[in-house]
Amino acid sequence: MEKNWAGNVTYRATEIHHPATLADLRSTIAKSRQIRALGTRHSFNELANTGGELVSLARMPKFVEFDTGAPSVKVSADLRYSQFVEDLDKKGFALPNLASLPHISVAGAIATATHGSGSGNGSLSTSVAGLEIVTADGSSVTLNRGDDDFDGAVVNLGALGVVTSVTLDLVPAFEIRQYVHEGLPLAADILGVLDGAYSVSLFTDWSGDTINQVWVKQRTQDPEFIPDGTTPADGPRHPIPGMATENCTQQLGVPGRFFERLPHFRPEFTPSAGEELQTEFMVARNDAVAALQAINEIREHIHPVLQISEIRAIKADQLWLSPYYQRDTVSIHFTWIADGTVVMPVISMVSERLAEFDARPHWAKIFDIAPEVLQSRYERLQDFDDLARRLDPAGKFRNEFVAEILSPR
């Protein structure tokens, strides 16, 4: 049976289609009663699963089309970032941010509001300027920024149809230096540290009152940022102690192109641990210090089942299902050991501790929040449901995961 990247989800689909042309894709969708798109399978929960059919765009023609005037690039939706970021750089352009791994598809990343870090950087979904979607009857819909439905359609959980192309805004190419500093006291000015450079990630195993590593990614023209109280790492580091550092992008301040430094992991190696489960909660920036304190109070439960935690900053946006909707955000991520039986009770505990902060979960990671509670944290959920029903009246793209989130009206 086919599984997701982490191996914790077995796809129940009766068939996985691999259309080779847009016409094939359209007729596959039109004929199907229940179908969903599958990207590079990096989500950790039932979001991509269905008892109906799945469709992969892996055999469809690939394209990377520049509009140097805009500037923007239109790419096939199933391309992995690693497959086109170097092309952008060669033309003198960049994306403002990337996730920790470049292995994921563009469509899967934007469907779930995948993010990197940086107080001034929105999620990867905020780079989207346009989308082409094959909807339930097999016809194509194009939505561009400024269209009525656009803000609802980017973070779409795969529930509106199959995205076939994505147009992304570009910025001028830039270089990054990446440094790792160790031993930041948890009592430090965490927000000040997150604001200290273009992209900052804090890694802790919650074993004590210290953030183990601060990953600082700064543009080469910016002044060097060394968080107070830390010591520069004396060699390359992996966020998870003991893992091979060759899997990670180059550190120690060696300048590199944006795509060689913004991700933590290199495309040719396994990202993160490989054997793991992941959870992430997003809280308002103003609540971040209190939320981290709440997590610290239950660290003796977290540490034994954790590989590493990562804390990042994400700028607010206007996308309806974005966890950063109208809220400058700090995300608190957990890479757990690969054992759901011991990890699930701790996820519930974390979720309860963060309830007072109206924490919004990462759509693609494991969480345990009642649908009505989740609905109360996404004020545009009803608008998204209306949009989904308009584009997909029979609920062809609505699997159990999505139905549960959208259900009570």
Report d(CA 288, CA 280) in Å as an integer: 13
- Out of 108, 130, 227, 361, the only residue in the binding site for ligand FAD (CB under 6 A) is 108
Residues 6+ away with beta carbon under 8 Å from 335: 240, 272, 273, 276, 277, 278, 306, 307, 308, 309, 310
- Beta carbons within 10 angstroms of residue 208's beta carbon: 13
Q: Contact between 42 and ligand FAD (CB under 6 A)?
A: yes
How open is the CA angle 355-359-362, to the nearest 5 degrees?
135
Binding segment (CB under 6 A) for ligand FAD, from list 154-162, 211-219, 253-261, 322-330: 154-162
Binding status of residue 47 toward ligand FAD by CB under 6 A: yes
Among 37, 128, 184, 388, binds ligand FAD (CB under 6 A): 37
Collapsing DSSP to helix, strand or coil, 213 comes out as strand
Least Å from the CB of residue 69 to ligand FAD: 27
76 binds ligand FAD (CB under 6 A): no
- Does residue number 198 form part of the binding site for ligand FAD (CB under 6 A)? no
Strands 53-56 and 140-144: unpaired
> Which string of DSSP letters, residue by residue, matches 95-156?
-S---S-S-SBHHHHHHTT-----TT---GGGGEEEEEEE-TTS-EEEEETTSTTHHHHSS-
Give the neighbor-by-neighbor strand order of the sheet with 35-38.
15-17, 53-56, 35-38
Q: How far is the CB of 350 from ligand FAD (least distance, A)?
A: 17
Site string for ligand FAD, 2-21 (x = CB under 6 A): ---x----------------
Name the amino acid, one letter, at 134: V
Question: Which residues lie across from 201 on neighbouring strands?
Answer: 215
Build a one-symbol-per-residue string for 236-275: x at contacts with ligand FAD by CB under 6 A, - elsewhere.
-----------------------------------xx---
- Using CB under 6 A as the binding rule, whether residue 100 contacts ligand FAD is answered as yes
57 is an interface residue for ligand FAD by CB under 6 A: yes
| Rounded-to-10 torsion of CA 375, 378, 382, 388 | -100
Distance CA 342, CA 127 (A): 37
Which of 157, 294 has the CB closer to ligand FAD? 157
**Per-position b or e across 38-63, b if 16+ CB within 10 A of its CB:** bbbbbbbbbbbbbebbbbbbeebeee
Kindly identify the residues of this chain, within the stretch 115-134, that bind ligand FAD according to CB under 6 A: 115
Nearest-angstrom CA–CA distance, 337 and 205: 12
112 binds ligand FAD (CB under 6 A): yes
The maximal CA–CA distance of the chain, rounded, in angstroms, is: 61
- The three state secondary structure string of 265-300 is ECCCCCCCCCCCEEEEEEEEHHHHHHHHHHHHCCHH
Q: What's the closest the beta carbon of residue 134 comes to ligand FAD, in angstroms?
A: 9
**Residue of 28, 40, 125, 167 interacting with ligand FAD (CB under 6 A):** 40
Residue 62 gets which letter from DSSP? Answer: P
Residue closer to ligand FAD by CB (options 72, 335) is 335
Least separation in angstroms between CB 378 and ligand FAD? 16
Q: State yes or no: residue 77 binds ligand FAD (CB under 6 A).
A: yes
Per CB under 6 A, 111 contacts ligand FAD: yes
Which residue among 102, 158, 196, 267 contacts ligand FAD (CB under 6 A)? 158
Q: Is 217 in the site for ligand FAD (CB under 6 A)?
A: no
Residue whose CB is less far from ligand FAD, 115 or 181? 115
Chain residues 342-371 in contact with ligand FAD, contact rule CB under 6 A: 362, 364
In the complex, least distance from residue 181 CB atom to ligand FAD, rounded to whole angstroms = 20
Residue 9 CB, shortest distance to ligand FAD, in Å, is 9
Which CB atom, from 179 or from 397, has the smaller least distance to ligand FAD? 397
Tell me which stretch binds ligand FAD (CB under 6 A): 102-110, 170-178, 224-232, 366-374: 102-110
Given the rule CB under 6 A, which residues bind ligand FAD? 5, 36-43, 47-48, 57, 77-78, 99-101, 104-105, 107-109, 111-112, 114-115, 157-158, 162-163, 271-272, 362, 364
